[in-house]
Structure 1
Amino acid sequence: MARSFDGSTESPASVEQIHAAFGREDYWLARLAGSDAATTTLDSLTVDADGTVTVRLTQHLGRQLLPKVVANLVPGELNLVHQETWTPDNDGQVHGQIQVSVPGGLGSCRAKTWLAPADTGSRLRFTGRVDVKIPLVGGNLEKTIGASLSENIPEVVRFTTTWVTENA
């Protein structure tokens, strides 16, 4: 059974500043350098003429990082493929699509985001769904992952705000 999550966070950085950061390789490399113990690679970064930014990352999870019950059910190494697309509209907003998938159909996550101007900078709203297809533990993992994403997305916005301030 899939689990939903949602939330919002604000930043003193403008929509334009955050969107511009998403289009820079040095931003993504800095963001990945600050990530957890898993090795994550920047596979591609494309900025289209209309300003749409598409990034693809792969998070390589070693078996030692997996909960034992999951490691016993998953053969070999586990890689999470993460893709984000950020598209500006004509109203000063940026719409995002985030997809995370696990090869082999073990699970996925999809989220929609809206980055809009706010009185003191910008506001990011997000809503998403986590689906883990591992018998017996999938529901617990969905709940844990959804809660983690609800906390981590605002943390990414805080990182981005700091990055913009230091690299503008």
Structure 2
Amino acid sequence: MPKSFDCSVETPVSIEQIHAVYCQRDYWEARLAPHKDLVELRAFDVDASGTVRTTVVQDLRNIVLPPPFGKLYPRGLELVQSETWTVDHDATVRGDIHVKAHGAPGSGRGRVVITPSRDAKRLECSATVQVKVPLVGGKLENLYGRQMIDQIPDTLRSIKEWIDEGA
């Protein structure tokens, strides 16, 4: 059963700015750069309506296996995360995230909804997470849901820095 999480974040970043930054391939590459040995931006597209689609692949061999075995294990033990981001006519950012493990059991999905507060000084955020992993899905839902909510302020801060640097 999906689990929901909510938060409210004070930020000078607007919904339009979030969307504009998400539409830039350079932003995604910079965001992933610190993890370039483990993560790859495999696909990036922005369509005519402004919908952003990304696919990020994480190589799990060296994360879940001891170093000598990671080199011996065939490629294919990876986590594929596909994200779709849109801005609705009511100034709401919606992110749909789908995660699938290849070479191991498990999948998950999440939805992030970000709306401006009435005073436009805060963003109201909600996340819904569902993880399909035998035996531990519920525990992972709690972990990932909390991580999604905890990462929103950091993501907004990085967007603000990206805008300020004029990247």
Aligned-CA RMSD value: 2.9
The alignment covers a number of residue pairs equal to 159
Secondary structure in structure 2 of the residue aligned to 1:34: helix
Deviation at 1:16, TM superposition (A): 0.8
Equivalent pair of 2:7/2:125 in contact (CA under 8 Å): yes
The corresponding residue for 1:18 is 18
- What letter corresponds to residue 80 of structure 2 in structure 1? V
> Deviation of residue 138 (structure 1)?
5.2
C-alpha contact 2:127 2:145 (8 A) present in aligned 1: no
How far does residue 152 in structure 1 lie from its aligned partner after superposition? 2.6
**Structure 1 partner of 2:29:** 29
Identity of aligned residues (%): 34
| Cα deviations by residue, 1:16-37 (Å, 9 ceiling, x for unpaired) | 11101101011001100134x8
Q: TM-score, normalised by structure 1?
A: 0.76
CA contact (8 A) 1:14 1:122 kept: no
Q: Is the deviation greater in 109-118 or in 142-151?
A: 142-151
Alignment correspondent of 2:154: 155
Pick which of 148-157 and 20-29 moved more.
148-157
Letter in 1 for 2:58: Q
89 and 12 in structure 1: CA distance in 2 versus 1, 3 angstrom threshold: same
Once the 2 structures are TM-superposed, how far is the Cα of residue 104 of structure 1 from its aligned partner?
A: 4.8
* Aligned residue number for residue 98 of structure 1: 97
Distance 1:138 1:113 in 2: 19
Map 1:52-131 to 2 at 5 A.
Answer: 52-63=51-62, 65-66=63-64, 78-104=77-103, 106-118=105-117, 119-121=119-121, 123-131=123-131
> 2:23, 2:44 → 1: CA distance?
7
What is aligned with 2:42? 43
Deviates more, 1:77-86 or 1:112-121: 112-121
Shift in Å at residue 91 of structure 1? 1.6
Over 3 Å counting, the alpha-carbon distance change for 1:34 and 1:139 in structure 2 is same
User: Unaligned stretches of 5+ in structure 1?
Assistant: none
Give 5+ residue unaligned stretches, structure 2.
none
Deviations 1:52-100 (A, max 9, x none): 111111111233x2288xx9xxx75631111111112212222221112
Higher RCO, Cα 8 Å, sep 6+: 1
Q: Structure 1 residues 104, 62: closer, same or farther in 2, change over 3 A? A: closer
Q: Report the alpha carbon displacement of residue 5 of structure 1 after superposing the two structures with TM.
A: 4.5
Alignment CA distance shift 1:124-1:28 (3 Å): farther
- C-alpha separation in 2, matches of 1:92 and 1:51: 13
Relative to 1, partners in 2 of residues 1:97 and 1:88: Cα closer, same or farther, differing over 3 Å? Answer: same
